[in-house]
Structure 1
Amino acid sequence: MPLQNRVQPTGEINAHPARGGFMGNRGILHDEDGLHPKRRWAHQNWVCCVLSFKGRRRQLMAPRRYTELFFLDEAVAFAVGHRPCAECRGAEYRRFRGCCDVPGPAAALDCQLHAERAVPRIFQQRRYADVEAHDLPDGSFILDHAGKSGVLSGDAFYPYAPEGYQTAQKRPQGRVTLLTPPSVVTAFRAGYRPQIALEGAQV
């Protein structure tokens, strides 16, 4: 039975058998019964990590160890407010910081991202309504006019599914709801190119 550790771009954490492309850390979110029904973070430095690093091995959801979360790709991790890990993804972290307009140490970036990604006290994703779709860079996650989440790439909108993106649709026109935090969108505009798992999607 799959563990409840797969993060959706809309903020939910579900159980799904498909393998993720990246791992994330927000602290200890589980106990002996599994993922806590309400707790969705234990600290503000939400990182996005590679699946394999220096041969380290972990027991998933081990007692008193941080909860391993998984994302389809980097675009999904960014959509929910994670940023590259400075240890296992040092080059990506430095490149992201170089494209980000948040000065200071990593803690300042994490504080800014946390304010942009989370609604205080109710553990919900902060979203941004009435954003012009044509103005958003590749890698941005939105809700289309039907309320379906997906990623923008070129002239296309790729609807999201946990097992991979669905057939491409034309990029929505007009105003949409943005899921990706504004500071991340700024980094995309400045040249950071997030990994998007479009290999199996049909154009």
Structure 2
Amino acid sequence: MPLQNRVQPDGEIIAHPARGSFMGNRGILHDENGLHPKRRWAHQNWVCCRLRFKGRRRKLMAPRHYTELFFLDEAVAFAAGHRPCAECRAADYRRFRACCDSPGPAADLDRQLHAERAVPRVFRQRRHGDVEAQDLPDGSFVLDHDGQSGVLLGDALHPYAPEGYGAAQRRPQGRVTLLTPPSIVAAFRNGYRPQIALARD
């Protein structure tokens, strides 16, 4: 049975057998029974990590160790509010920070991102009102007019599913609900290109 550790772009954490291409960390979110029914973060430095680094091996959801979370790709991790890890993804972290409008310490960026991604005390993702779809950069995750989440790339929206993206659709016209935190969208505008798990990648 798959563990409940697969993060969705809308902030939900589900059990799904498909493998992700990135791992993440928000602290200890599980106990001996699995993922806690309500707890969705234990600290504010939510990171997105490589699956392999220096030969390290972990037992998933081990007692008293952080909960390993997984993402289809980097765009999903960003939509959920994670940033590149400064250790295992040092080069990506430096590129991301160079594109951020938050030049201070990492803790300052993490506080800013946390205010943008999380609704306090109710453990759910903050959505970002109605924004003009045509104004959003590639890599941004939105909810379309039918409530389907997808990533924008060029003139298309690629509908999200845990096992991968569906057939490309025309980029929505007009206003949509933004899932990706605004500070991360700003980094995309400034030149950071998130990894998106499309067939041509």
Task: Give the TM-score normalised by the residue count of structure 2.
Answer: 0.99
Number of equivalent positions: 201
Q: Secondary structure at the match of 1:39?
A: coil
- Tell me which stretches of 4 or more aligned residues in structure 1 moved more than 6 Å: none
Aligned to 1:151: 151
Contact 1:29/1:36 (CA < 8 Å) preserved in 2?
Answer: yes
Question: What residue identity is the alignment partner of 2:35?
Answer: L
Mapped to 2, the partners of 1:200 and 1:135 lie a distance apart of 24
Unmatched 5+ residue regions in structure 1? none
Q: Secondary structure at the match of 1:152?
A: strand
Aligned to 1:27: 27
Aligned to 2:168: 168
The answer on 1:2 being equivalent to 2:2 is: yes
Question: What residue identity is the alignment partner of 1:149?
Answer: S
Shift of 1:103: 1.9
The answer on 1:130 being equivalent to 2:136 is: no
Contact 1:165/1:200 (CA < 8 Å) preserved in 2?
Answer: no
Shift of 1:129: 1.7
Mapped to 2, the partners of 1:90 and 1:67 lie a distance apart of 21
Question: What residue identity is the alignment partner of 1:26?
Answer: R
Superposed, 1:107-122 pairs within 5 Å as: 107-122=107-122
Q: Secondary structure at the match of 2:161?
A: coil
Aligned to 1:68: 68
Task: Give the TM-score normalised by the residue count of structure 1.
Answer: 0.98
Q: Secondary structure at the match of 2:150?
A: strand
The answer on 1:100 being equivalent to 2:97 is: no
The answer on 1:13 being equivalent to 2:13 is: yes
Mapped to 2, the partners of 1:159 and 1:129 lie a distance apart of 20
Instruction: Name the % identity.
Output: 83
Shift of 1:200: 7.3
Contact 1:164/1:200 (CA < 8 Å) preserved in 2?
Answer: no
